[in-house]
Amino acid sequence: MHTSATCDRLRSAEGDGQERLDQLRNAIEHAAHLLPAQGPITVFIHHNTLHALEDLPFTQAVAQAARTYGCQPYLSEDRYREELSRGRIRTEDLFAVLLDDLGEEADRLIGFLGTRFHVRLSMLQYPLRLAPTAELKWLVAEADALLKFRDDAPAEVRQRTIEQTRHWVMRDLRNGRRPHGGGKSSPESRARAALAELSPRFRLSTAETWNEARWEAFCLHALWRVCQQGVHGVRSFGPPAGPGVRHRDALLAAGGEDSDRLVDELLIRFCAAFLDQGLANWALPGREAGFYRAFCRLYGQRGGPPERWLRGLRREIARGEAAGFGPLESIEESLELLGVSNSDQDEYLSATLLALRGWAGMLWQMEVRGDRVAHAAPRGSLVEFVAVRLILERLALAHVGRESLGYTGPLAGLAQAARARTAPAESVSIEQRTFLVFQLAQVLGWTPADLFRLSKDEWSRLVEELETFSSLERRRVFHVAYERHYRDQTLDAITIRARRPAARPARPRFQAIFCIDEREESFRRHLEERAGDVETFGAAGFFAVPMYYRGIGDAHFVPLCPVVIRPRHYVRETVVAPLEDLHRRRARTRRALGAAWHQVHVGSRSFTAGALLAALVGPLATFPLVARILFPRLTARLRRLAGELIRPPTGTRLQLERIAESPGPAADQSGFRVDEMAESVERLLREIGLTSRFARLIVVAGHGSSSLNNPHGSAYNCGACGGSRGGPNARAFALMANDSRVRQRLAERGLSLPDETVFLGAYHNTCNDSVSYLDLDRLPASHAAEFEEFRRDLDIARELNAHERCRRFESAPLALSGEDALRHVERRAEDLAQPRPECGHATNALCVVGRRARTRGLFLDRRAFLASYDPTQDDGRHTLLTRILAAVVPVCAGISLEYYFSYVDPEGWGCGTKLPHNIVALLGVMDGAASDLRPGLPWQMVEIHEPLRPIFLVETTPVAMHELLDRNADLGRLFRNGWAHLATLDPDAPEIHVFQDGRFERHEPALVDLPEVESSSAWYRGWRDHLGCALVSKGLAPAREPMPRGRERVA
C-alpha cells in the first residue's frame, strides 16, 4: 500500500519530469521557426526572409521582426527624404498615403496649430533630430540653436514668425493689458511671466532698439521657453523600452564585457566542425554521437583550454555525466541555475537561439532537410545545441560577472545585481520633448503667441501626435508612398499599352518559350523587336518537367524543379553509342586528373607535399595568377581549349524514356513513361496558352548563370529549378514534345500539334549572354534554314540584351557598342576579381501573369517577371490560373521579398558586403575570420535594387481572383496580409483593378500617354538609373487583327 503510493508518486513525478522535458523541446522547436531558413549555399533557394511571420500583416510583421531581430524594417528616414527631394517619392503620394492612413481624423485640429494631417506631413518633410539630453543642453546654451532658425525652415515662414512675434511683443506684451479681458491666467500674462526669466538681453523695455538678429534670437528663446512649459507634465506616449531578457543584456548594460563574445568564439568553431561537409581534412571525432555528446567528449578531457572562463567546463561536463543528464535535462538545470522563471522560459530560449542565429538556423536546416547534403545532422541537434550553449553561457556569465562586477553569488541573482548597478535607462527627458516641438514650430511657423494660447489638453494632444508618429510610423508612410509611385506609374503604363491592339501574329515565324525570370524580359523584348512575327512565352523554368538530373560529367543527381516539389523522376544523360569508347577514355582521364588535382589541393596545405609544391611549382603559379587577373577572358578561352581534350563528348542523349515500372536512380529506371511525358507537355502548353497557331520552330530556353569567385553563384541560377541551371529541363521538354507518340496522346486530348512543328531545347547563360542549343543534331534537315534564321535573330538579341544590361554596370562605358557589350559581359563571367558578375534579380518589382500580347512592346526595364497565361482558354474554375499562380507566386514573391529585406538592412537581413566573406564548412559564408553564419544576399547583389513589395498583375477578373484567394489559403494569406500587391487586368478591356483592404478598386490612370520610341535602345541608352515605361514601336506586334472592344478570339 505504502510502497505502491510511493511508486505512484515517483511515477507521476517522473511523468511530470518527462512532461516538462517535452515542453522544453517543444519550446525550442517552436522558437526554431524564427531562425533563418536558408539551406546550404550551394543550392540557394530564394525565400521570404520573414516567412515565419507571414501570418501577420506586412507592416505589423516587419515592426515585430525589427524588435525580435534588431534589424531595420524599412530604409532610413534620411534615405526616404533623399528620394523625396529627388522626386522618386512624390509629395502627392505622401498626401494620399497620409489621407488614407488618417481617414476622418486627417482634418482634426490640434489647438489652432493645424490639422493632424498638416502636422504629420511636416514631420515627414522635415527631419526632426533628437540627441542626448546633455547634447541638447549644450546646443541650447552654447550653440546657435536659440539664435538662428534651422536652415531648412522656409524663409517666408521664418520671416512671418519673427514679424508676428514682434507685433505681438510690441502690441500685447509690452503695452500691458488689452483693452478688455485678460486676467492673471491670460496667455499674455503667462507669457510675460515666462519671458521675464529670459536673459537681460531680452528685456522688453529695450525692444524698440532690437535689430533683426536679436528679434530672431528672442523669437527662438521665447519658443523654447513656451515649448518647455508646454510639454512639462505631459505623460509619455513613446513605446517603453523593454530591457533584454537575457542575463547577458543586463551585464552589457552594466558596462560589463559581452559574454556572448566568449561563448560565440568557441561555439562557432565547434558548430562549423560539427556541420562541416568536407572542408577540413580531419573531421570532428565522434560527431555521429550527436552535438551534445561530441561536445562533452571533446571538452570533457583533461588539459583543456587555458582561458580562465573555461576552467569550470570539465567539471560541469563531468557533473552532468555523473547525474546522467541528457541534453534536455541539462537545459532544465541550466535554466534553473540561471533563475529563468517558467513564464520567461520561452522568451529566454528563443533569445538564446537567436543570439547565434545563423549557425542555429543551419543546424536546424541540416536536421529537418538533411536530404540536401552529404553529412546531415541527426534529429534533436538543435536542442543539443541549446544545451551546450547554456552550459557555456553559465560559465561565461559567471566569469564576466566576477571580472567586471566582482559578483560571486549564484547566477540567478546576476541579472538583478547588474541591473542594480546600471544607471536607469534614461526615459525621454523634458529637453528632448521640448526640442521636438521646438523644431517643428520653426518649420510650421508656430509663433510663441500661438503656443502660449494652448491649453494643457491641447499640449497633451500635440505631444501625443508627435510621439506616436514615431520613426517607425514615418518610415512606413514613406515606404508606402515610395511603392505607390512605382505602382501607379507602371499600372498606368500597362493600362495605356492595353488600349492598343493585342494580337498574336497570324502566322508566327518562330515561337520561343523562356523562363518567367525578369532577366529574360529584355531578352524576349529584343527578340520581339528584331522580328515582329516572333512570339515569346513565359513559363516557370522547369517547364513542367520536375526531375532529378545527372549529366554525363556530373557526380550526383540534382533536383531540377521548384523547392516545394519533390521530384519522382530521375533522368540521366548518356553518351551516344559511337562515342562511348571516347567517353570512357576521357572519363578515366578526368578521373585521374581530378584525383591528382585533389591531391594537389590537399597537398598544398600539408607539410611535405606543400613544401615540394611551393618550392618547385610555386613560382609557376605566377603565370595563371597574372594571366587570370589581367586577361580573364583570354585565359578562360585558353582553358576552354585545353578542356576540350578531356570534356565529355558532345554527342549525348537524355535517357528520357523509362523501361522499368517505377522511377528511380538506376540506369533502367531513368526517365518518364510516354503518358507522363504527354502529361507534362500538355500541362505546359495549356498553361501558357500555346494551343494553336504553332510555328514551324519552337525553341524552349532554360537559363542559368556562371561566374567565378562567387559563393552565391547558385542564387543567380533559375529559381524555378531550385537554384540550378535549367538547360536539361528545356532539353527534356523539347524531346518529349517532339515524340510522335506523345503527340498522338495529345491529339487524343484535343491538343494537336502540326507535324511540321519542331521543338528545340536551348540554354541561356544570363551572365555572359551566351545561348547554346541542345540536341541540335536531331533537328530535321527540313528545319535547318529556319534554325539558321532564328539563330541570326537571337544572336542580335543577345548583343542587344548584353548592351541593355551593360548600362547598369558602372565599369562598362555608356557608349559601348553591342559587340563590345557582349565581350564585356563575357569578361565579367570569367573574372576572378568581379564581385558583380551580373545584377541577378536586382530591381525586380513586378510580375505579370497574362497574355504576352497585352504587354508586348512595353519597355519594362528588366523589372518584370512575365508568366504567360491565356484567360480565354481557362475553365470556369480557373484551373490553369490556380496552377500557374501556385507555382509562380511563391517563387517570385520569395525572390522579391528576399531582395527587399537584404536591401533595407544589408547587415541585418542580408550578408553584408562580399569582400570579407569566408566560405565555411562548405555550407555558407562568414564575415572574416569567425562570425555567425551569414544568410541572405550580399550587398553587391542587391546594390541597385529598389526595395518594393512585388506587384502581381494577373489578367483575369476581380471576381475570379477573389474566388481564387478564397480557395488557396497560401495565396490568400500572402495578398491579404499585404506581403505583395495584387492587381487584375481585365481580359476584355484596358482596365486594372487594384486589391486593397480586401477589395478590388478600379485603377484610374493619371497618365494620358506614354512616350513612344522606335526601339528599346533608343529609350535606355545613356542612362544608368531606373527607367520608366515606354512604348517600343518595333516591339508592338504587327496589328493585323486589331483587337476590337470585345475579346480577342483565338482560333
Partner 1 sequence: MSVESNSMFAPLGACVVAAPAVLLAVLGLAALGGRRLTESAVNRLTQAAVILGLAAALGVLALMLHLDTRHVTLELGEWVSLPQEHFHFTVKFVFDRLSVPFVVLSYVLCGTIGAFANSYLHRDPGFNRFFAFYAIFLLGMVVSSLAGTIETLFAGWELVGLSSALLVAFFHERPSPVRNGLRVWSVYRVADAAFLIAAVALHHATGAGDFDGLMGADPWPEGHAALSPGQALWIGLLLLVAAAGKSALVPFSGWLPRAMEGPTPSSAVFYGALSVHLGAFLLLRVSPVLEASAWLSVAVVGLGLITAVFAAAASRVQTDIKSALAFASLTQIGIIVVEIGLGLRYLALVHIIGHACLRTLQFLRAPTLLHDLDTLENAIGEHLPQVPGFWERVLPVPVRLWLYRLVLERGYLDGGLNECVVRPFVRLFRWFDRLERRWTDFLARQPSRDSDHVPPPTRFENW
Q: List binders of partner 1 among 349-388 (CB under 8 A).
A: 374
For residue 1019, the tally of other CB atoms under 10 A from its CB is 21
By the rule CB under 8 A, 207 interacts with partner 1: no
Does residue 999 bind partner 1 (CB under 8 A)?
A: no
Examine residue 143 and tell whether it contacts partner 1 (CB under 8 A). Answer: no
Indicate the residue among 938 and 987 with the shorter CB distance to partner 1. 938
- Footprint of partner 1 on residues 21-50 (CB under 8 A)? 41-42
H helices, E strands: number in the chain: 38, 20
The answer to whether 619 contacts partner 1 (rule: CB under 8 A) is yes
Q: According to CB under 8 A, which one of 115, 122, 913, 977 is a site residue for partner 1? A: 913
111 binds partner 1 (CB under 8 A): no
**Cβ proximity of 106 and 115 under 8 Å:** yes
Residue 489 near residue 1023, CB atoms below 8 Å: no
Nearer to partner 1, 401 or 448 (CB): 401
**Per-position x/- string for 66-105, each x denoting binding to partner 1 as judged by CB under 8 A, each - no binding:** ----------------------------------------
- Helix (H) or strand (E) holding 189, with range, is helix 187-195
Decide if residue 279 touches partner 1 (CB under 8 A): yes
269-277, 342-350, 958-966, 984-992 -> range binding partner 1 (CB under 8 A): 269-277
Q: How far is the CB of 943 from partner 1 (least distance, A)?
A: 7
1013 phi and psi, to 5 degrees?
-125, 165
Q: How far is the CB of 295 from partner 1 (least distance, A)?
A: 11
Which one among 614, 660, 666, 747 touches partner 1, defined by CB under 8 A? 614
How many residues touch partner 1 under the rule CB under 8 A: the total is 109
- Applying CB under 8 A, does 299 fall inside the site for partner 1? yes
- Render the burial of 326-343: b for 16+ CB within 10 Å, e for the rest: bbbbbbbbbbebbebeee
Distances (CA, A) of 796 to 695, 770, 789, 823, 1037: 20, 11, 11, 14, 19
Among 593, 667, 814, 1006, binds partner 1 (CB under 8 A): 593
Among 12, 236, 471, 879, binds partner 1 (CB under 8 A): 471
| One residue of 490, 680, 710, 766 binding partner 1 per CB under 8 A | 710
Closest to partner 1 by CB, 424 vs 1044, is 424
CB-nearer residue toward partner 1: 437 or 449: 437
| 475-494 binders of partner 1 (CB under 8 A) | none
Beta-carbon contacts of 857 under 8 Å, excluding residues fewer than 6 positions away, are 497, 500, 528, 1031, 1032, 1033, 1034, 1035, 1036, 1037
Should residue 315 be labelled a site residue for partner 1 when binding is judged by CB under 8 A? no
Q: Of 4-12, 384-392, 761-769, 922-930, which part binds partner 1 (CB under 8 A)? A: 922-930
Count of Cβ atoms closer than 10 Å to residue 1003 Cβ: 19
Kind of pairing between the strands at 558-560 and 547-550: antiparallel
Task: Closer to partner 1 by CB, 5 or 615: give it.
Answer: 615
Candidate ranges 488-496, 505-513, 707-715, 1020-1028; the one touching partner 1 (CB under 8 A)? 707-715
| Out of 39, 538, 711, 761, the residue judged to bind partner 1 by CB under 8 A | 711
Cα 620–chain centre separation: 43
Per CB under 8 A, 288 contacts partner 1:
no
Specify the residue, 618 or 1042, whose C-beta has the smaller distance to partner 1. 618
- Determine if 626 is a binding residue for partner 1 (CB under 8 A): yes
Alpha helical stretches, state H, 760-830: 784-806, 818-830
832 binds partner 1 (CB under 8 A): yes
Nearest-approach distance from CB 458 to partner 1, in angstroms: 22
Among 305, 665, 754, 1038, binds partner 1 (CB under 8 A): 305
The DSSP result for 687-731, as a single string, is: HHT--SS--SEEEEEEEE---SS-TTGGGGSBGGGTSB--HHHHH
Q: Which of residues 926-955 bind partner 1 (CB under 8 A)?
A: 926-931, 943
For the chain, how far is it from start to end, CA to CA, in angstroms? 89
Q: Which is nearer to partner 1, 213 or 642 (CB)?
A: 642
Element at 275 (helix H, strand E): helix 259-275
Give yes or no for a contact between 254 and 418, defined as CB atoms under 8 angstroms apart. yes
In whole angstroms, what is the distance from residue 748 CA to residue 127 CA?
69
Residue from 303, 324, 406, 1022 touching partner 1 (CB under 8 A): that is: 303
Residue 375 contacts residue 362 (beta carbons within 8 Å): no
Cβ 621 to partner 1 shortest distance, Å: 4
Among 278, 409, 780, 1038, binds partner 1 (CB under 8 A): 278
Q: Output DSSP code: residue 752.
A: P
Least Å from the CB of residue 840 to partner 1: 16
Q: Exposed e or buried b for every residue in 665-675, given b needs 16+ CB within 10 A?
A: eeeebbbbeee
**132 lines the binding site for partner 1 (CB under 8 A):** yes
**Which residue reads 490560373 in cell numbers?**
881
Q: Is 624 in the site for partner 1 (CB under 8 A)?
A: yes
Q: In what order do the strands lie in the sheet with 999-1002?
A: 864-868, 846-850, 951-955, 981-985, 992-996, 999-1002
For partner 1, the binding residues in 492-551 under the rule CB under 8 A are: none
Q: What is the 3-state secondary structure (H, E, C) of 605-650?
A: CCCHHHHHHHHHCHHHHHHHHHHHHHCHHHHHHHHHHHHHCCCCCC
Interface positions, 773-812, toward partner 1 (CB under 8 A)? 810-811
DSSP 959-1003: HHHHHHHHH-HHHHHHHHTTSSEEEEE-SSSS-EEEEETTEEEE-
Other beta carbons within 10 Å of 132: 12
The two beta strands, 758-765 and 534-539, are unpaired
Residue 60 near partner 1 by CB under 8 A: no
Contact criterion met (CB below 8 Å) for 388 and 291: yes
Could you give the string, one character per residue 430-469, with x where binding to partner 1 holds by CB under 8 A and - elsewhere?
----------------------------------------
553 binds partner 1 (CB under 8 A): yes
> Candidates 49-57, 267-275, 314-322, 658-666 — which segment interacts with partner 1 by CB under 8 A?
267-275
Query: Shortest distance, CB of residue 919 to partner 1, whole angstroms?
Result: 5
